[in-house]
Amino acid sequence: MRNDQLQTEALSHSAHAPLVVVSGPSGVGKTTVVDRLLHLGSLPMRRAVTATTRASRDGEIPGVSYHFWTREQFEAAREHAQMLEWATVHGRDYYGTPRSEVDEYRRAGTGVVLVIDVQGAAQIRKSCPDCLTVFVVAPSFEVLEARLRGRGTESEDRIQRRLETARQELARASEFDHVIVNEDLDRAVAELEQLVRDRFNARV
């Protein structure tokens, strides 16, 4: 390939709208912070609807909260290279990002935010080195546990599993570009907004 062609490809790639990865322990407030950011409407952004094999919770809407797939559907999508990343989370269910939720939007100028676990974040960092990765933490482990319980969506068994996963995930915070402490919600949203805004502005 000629040099000018290479340059054009590099330029158009970096000119895509940003890919933002938000990760952190279950119950820390990732969904709340990202939903608030999107609700502000200050940046052209969407959240990718990811796929999972776990059962839907009360109030979750298929195709909005998640794509709820069977294990067979998930494995077929993986085999056909339709997943940008995927992981087994909390030791049991598959979770993953369909490419169709990301690529065409970024090309069209809409930033995409992924709320995914640390294993998925590591895969994205490799396949998309220009992505912005943000790790969200609670002010303390006790606060994290209280939020997880307060959400009231999980059985005790699942809460324990999520807390165990949280300990492992917290040890990987340093892999991320930025860490946001979600203590005051408005401040956490404002910090994320600024990071994403800077990334939009840094486009070639």
Binding site for ligand 5GP (CB under 6 A): 26, 50, 54, 85, 87, 89, 95-97, 115-117, 119-120
Which CB sits closer to ligand ADP, 90 or 197? Answer: 90
Q: In one letter, which amino acid is 110?
A: T
Binders of ligand ADP among residues 24 to 53 (CB under 6 A) are 26-32
Helix ranges (H only) for 117-203 are 118-127, 141-151, 156-170, 185-201
Contacting residue, 46, 147, 161, 172, with ligand ADP by CB under 6 A: 147
Q: Which two tokens stand for residue 168?
A: 């492992």
Shortest distance, position 117 Cβ to ligand ADP, whole Å:
10
Distance CA 131, CA 23 (A): 13
Q: In the complex with ligand 5GP, which residue's Cβ is closer, 42 or 56?
A: 56
**Range 159-188, binding ligand ADP (CB under 6 A):** 182, 185
Sheet containing strand 93-98, strands side by side: 67-68, 51-52, 93-98, 83-89
Write down the least CB distance from residue 54 to ligand ADP, Å: 13
Among residues 18 and 96, whose Cβ is nearest to ligand 5GP? 96
Smallest distance, ligand ADP to C-beta of residue 134, A: 12
Q: How many residues bind ligand ADP (CB under 6 A)?
A: 12
Torsion, CA 41, CA 42, CA 48, CA 53, rounded to 10: -60
Q: What does the block give as tokens for 199? A: 């990334």
Considering the complex, what minimum distance in angstroms separates the CB of residue 89 from ligand 5GP? 4
Choose the one of ligand 5GP, ligand ADP, none that binds residue 50, judging by a C-beta under 5 to 8 angstroms depending on kind.
Answer: ligand 5GP
CB-nearer residue toward ligand ADP: 73 or 149:
149
Residue nearest to ligand ADP (CB): 29
- When the beta carbons of 43 and 135 are compared against ligand 5GP, the nearer one is 135
Beta 51-52 vs 132-137: how paired, if at all?
Answer: unpaired
Alpha helices (runs of H) in the chain, residue ranges in sequence order? 3-14, 30-40, 71-79, 103-107, 118-127, 141-151, 156-170, 185-201
Cβ atoms within 10 Å, residue 122 = 17
Name the residues that contact ligand ADP, by CB under 6 A.
Answer: 26-32, 147, 150-151, 182, 185
